[in-house]
């Protein structure tokens, strides 16, 4: 197995343009979050990599959840149907606990932390705390065994307790997410021209996103804004909703590096958020955005009213978040991993 990886690495560094065959392993999402069960950010990443002509990425999803049998069945599928792994040069697992279903692997394993895999909910339910603590333990175990670890934010990677990692945020497609005329966007969606509109960038039934708080915040606002969600909205239409809105409201219990924030910034949409994930890092220098150190709905509603009164769109360069940069960084990691595998050197 190691010989194949060595051949790939050598041919990549030479004159022959070898295509790197990558197996993406990710959780299977419910239909309301993704019609085909594949997380949108994973599809985007695979499509961008395949578009380079240097990578052939295939995606396999895994039923996750709290039932250990799901992981056992997934492990059996990968190891009893050995061609799933042997047909690829390396395995890229998305979310920190999923390498568990491919270990042991003769192929290099790379893992990306997306959030929710190394730290806890901000609530007091013991069962959830126990589950998340267990997920964190599994993630750290997998990160130690993986050849390379990627985190979508620095904040997320530091939760690993000293395990080396590289920050590669999910990229934004600038051909989809860019500022457009607000009134045109509202007419396209059939929304009122003069009503204040707040966008909640997730499915309301996802309890981690804390939709209940968002509803209270909007009810307390003097403007009584319309609260829109992205539930069931195709990804290619999300930018229209962002351009039609006056603010993005993020009330999540946990996040890694939320793509919806980066996409909102690309559209010029002001962001109001609780202090979660890397939102503060992304928005700290932007006039018109606000991160609140509280889950108090009154505090959030007051900040929302201030945001409404400024009537200000934001202007920011997201060149560093362009999907092209993400793709180039991943290619570098893949080549590095294959080179390490071929040389027989272990570790990070």
> Right CATH number for 2-171+323-343 from 3.40.50.2000, 3.40.640.10, 3.20.20.70, 3.40.50.1860?
3.40.50.2000
Task: Provide the pLDDT for residue 348.
Answer: 62
φ and ψ of 160, to 5 deg: -80, -10
What is 182-318's CATH topology?
A: Rossmann fold (3.40.50)
Task: Provide the pLDDT for residue 256.
Answer: 85
**CA 93 to CA 78: how far, in whole Å?**
13
Q: Within the chain, which residue ranges are assigned CATH 3.40.50.2000?
A: 2-171+323-343, 182-318
248 Cβ contact list (under 8 Å, min separation 6): 198, 199, 201, 242, 260, 261, 264, 269, 270, 271, 272, 273
92: three-class secondary structure by DSSP: strand
State the 10-residue block means of pLDDT for the chain, 348 residues long: 37 58 92 76 95 96 86 90 88 96 94 82 51 85 96 90 93 93 98 97 89 98 96 92 98 91 95 93 89 96 95 75 92 94 69
φ and ψ of 249, to 5 deg: -110, 120
DSSP 207: G
Task: Provide the pLDDT for residue 30.
Answer: 77
């Amino acid at each position: 197995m190691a010989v194949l990886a060595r051949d790939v690495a050598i041919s990549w560094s030479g004159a022959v343009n070898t295509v790197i065959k990558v197996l993406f392993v990710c959780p299977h999402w419910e239909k309301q979050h993704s019609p085909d069960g594949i997380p949108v950010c994973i599809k985007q990443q695979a499509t961008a990599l395949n578009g380079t002509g240097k990578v052939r990425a295939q995606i396999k999803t895994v039923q996750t959840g709290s039932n250990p049998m799901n992981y056992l069945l997934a492990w059996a599928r990968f190891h009893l149907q050995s061609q799933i792994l042997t047909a690829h040069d390396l395995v890229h697992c998305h979310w920190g606990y999923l390498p568990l279903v491919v270990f042991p692997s003769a192929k290099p394993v790379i893992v990306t932390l997306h959030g929710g895999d190394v730290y806890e909910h901000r609530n007091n339910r013991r069962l959830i705390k126990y589950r998340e603590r267990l997920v964190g333990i599994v993630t750290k175990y997998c990160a130690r065994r993986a050849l390379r670890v990627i985190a979508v934010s620095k904040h997320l990677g530091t939760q690993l307790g000293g395990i080396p990692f590289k920050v590669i945020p999910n990229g934004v497609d600038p051909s989809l997410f860019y500022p457009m005329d607000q009134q045109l966007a509202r007419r396209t969606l059939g929304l009122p021209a003069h009503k204040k509109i707040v966008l909640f960038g997730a499915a309301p039934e996802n309890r981690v996103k804390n939709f209940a708080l968002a509803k209270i915040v909007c009810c307390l606002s003097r403007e009584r804004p319309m609260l829109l969600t992205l539930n069931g909205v195709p990804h290619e239409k999300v930018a229209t909703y962002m351009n039609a809105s006056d603010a993005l409201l993020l009330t999540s219990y946990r996040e890694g590096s939320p793509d919806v924030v980066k996409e909102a910034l690309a559209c010029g949409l002001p962001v109001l958020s609780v202090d979660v994930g890397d939102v503060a890092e992304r928005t700290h220098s932007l006039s018109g955005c606000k991160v609140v150190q509280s889950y108090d709905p009154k505090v959030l509603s007051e900040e929302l009213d201030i945001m409404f009164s400024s009537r200000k769109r934001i202007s920011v360069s997201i060149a560093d978040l362009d999907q092209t940069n993400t793709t180039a960084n991943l290619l570098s990691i893949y080549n590095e991993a294959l080179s390490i595998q071929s040389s027989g050197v272990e570790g990070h």
